Structure 1
Amino acid sequence: MSENNTPQSDHLADRFTEKARAVSAIVEPVVDLDQAMAYCLDLCGRRGACRIKISGCDEALSQPADTLCDLKQEKIVAAPGLTQDQFASLAARCREQGMTCIRSGMREHLSGVDIGFTVADFGIAETGTLVINCPDEELRLATMLSEYHVCVLRRSTIVEDAFAADRHLLKFMRKTPDYTAFITGASRTADIERVLALGVHGPLELHILLLED
């Protein structure tokens, strides 16, 4: 047990992990943000580049339209919620591995973003839910449009249930306009025959990195 952990915090982390994994999230421990960044880049390196092809691209097109249909070749990591220093560190690591790291302009990458790298404000143990206050559109898009979402969650910020989250949410709502995302597991949907599909309306995988603090 880490010296910063208590039996209560361990209980909350264990319960959060159990509930998150039950809804297809991948949960791993990390000791610091550097290890979280390394995990993110390793995941990106092991996956093929996200490539979304626009409808009609197989037809005879004008040069401008044909250019729009070109499939992206590079891998893109979006990390709009990091501090300036944190982003600079991640961007440098991405360049070393031939990847592109962005913190703005999500709408300009319609051909796909491989990984959204974010830091949660807190987690809810009862449901394995991440809570991210994201009034900025770039952060919202990073959590919704990336092929894989990697989110860092500090163990000390996990609360028991939604009632215990009340004080955090009240703080968020004092700022307007506001937007707070509750994320539980990977994106999922089902058809009328209840056939489950992952990643249709959002990230295919959700990776939660529990940070010791």
Structure 2
Amino acid sequence: MSAANDLARLMREKAEAVGATVVELKNLKEAFAYALDVCDKKEACQLLVSGCEEKLSDKAEALCETKQEKVVAAPNLSDEEYAAFSALCAERGIKCIRDGLRGHLAGIDIGVAHANLAIAETGTCVIDSTSEELRLSSMISEIHMAILPKSRIKATAFEGEQEVNALINTGTPRYTAFITGPSRTADIERVLAIGVHGPLELHILMLED
């Protein structure tokens, strides 16, 4: 087994241990198909309309049950990748966006982004999130998907130091996210809650190089 496959195996083991879903795919085309299959199977994000908890007329009840259209955010795809992905989304009736995410804060189903690198020992994806659009896509989506070529997996944080330094030492303020598993917190009466401060699910899509 090659060193890359050894790191991929460790990455999978550690990421799954903290609640992430890890899938191994051949290429970006398969990653796009996987993302859209997951989106197809989930219910669309639904806005909680004030008053829907009360007894309402049939017309109002129907309004409260209205589902929003499914939305996928993919802010850090290249122009060519985004064109291909958005075309696939359109075929399935899914809206694809790359900017203006502030207008969809209550209704992004899936956020898709390239990861810059990953740390196998902790199952962590590292993403240059200086772009606000990218930060929003990785934090407010119900499901976040990180696209990760196996060649970008490092065994330890120390081995990834050079790549991280290249991301942050640019002379201007940067924002780098270290993402390990889905969002979780236990600060409310020490009860573990998933998805309070971020996505309910993290899917890591590991690609062959």
Partner of 1:65: none
Partner of 2:204: 208
How many pairs are equivalent? 199
**Cα offsets for 1:26-61 (capped at 9, x unmatched):** 0000100000000000000000001132556779xx
How far does residue 192 in structure 1 lie from its aligned partner after superposition?
Answer: 5.1
State, as a whole percentage, how many aligned pairs show the same letter. 53
SS in 2 for 1:16: helix
How far does residue 11 in structure 1 lie from its aligned partner after superposition?
Answer: 1.3
Identify which range, 186-195 or 28-37, moves more after superposition.
186-195
How far does residue 73 in structure 1 lie from its aligned partner after superposition?
Answer: 2.0
How far does residue 71 in structure 1 lie from its aligned partner after superposition?
Answer: 5.8
State whether structure 2 residue 101 is matched by structure 1 residue 106. Answer: yes
Structure 2: how far apart are the matches of 1:54 and 1:165? 45
| Structure 1 unaligned residues grouped into runs of 5+ | 1-5, 60-68
Partner of 2:58: none
Identify which range, 150-159 or 168-177, moves more after superposition.
168-177
SS in 1 for 2:144: strand
Partner of 2:60: none
Alignment of structure 1 residues 1-213 onto 2, 5 Å: 7-53=2-48, 55=50, 73-175=68-170, 176-191=172-187, 193-213=189-209
Structure 1: how far apart are the matches of 2:8 and 2:158? 17
SS in 2 for 1:146: coil
How far does residue 196 in structure 1 lie from its aligned partner after superposition?
Answer: 1.4
1:71/1:111 contact within 8 Å kept:
no
- What is the TM-score of this pair, normalised by structure 1? 0.88
Q: Which amino acid aligns with 2:128?
A: N
- What is the TM-score of this pair, normalised by structure 2? 0.90
**How much is the aligned-residue C-alpha RMSD, in angstroms?**
1.9
Partner of 2:59: none
How far does residue 200 in structure 1 lie from its aligned partner after superposition?
Answer: 1.0
Q: Which amino acid aligns with 2:199?
A: P
Structure 1: how far apart are the matches of 2:180 and 2:49? 29
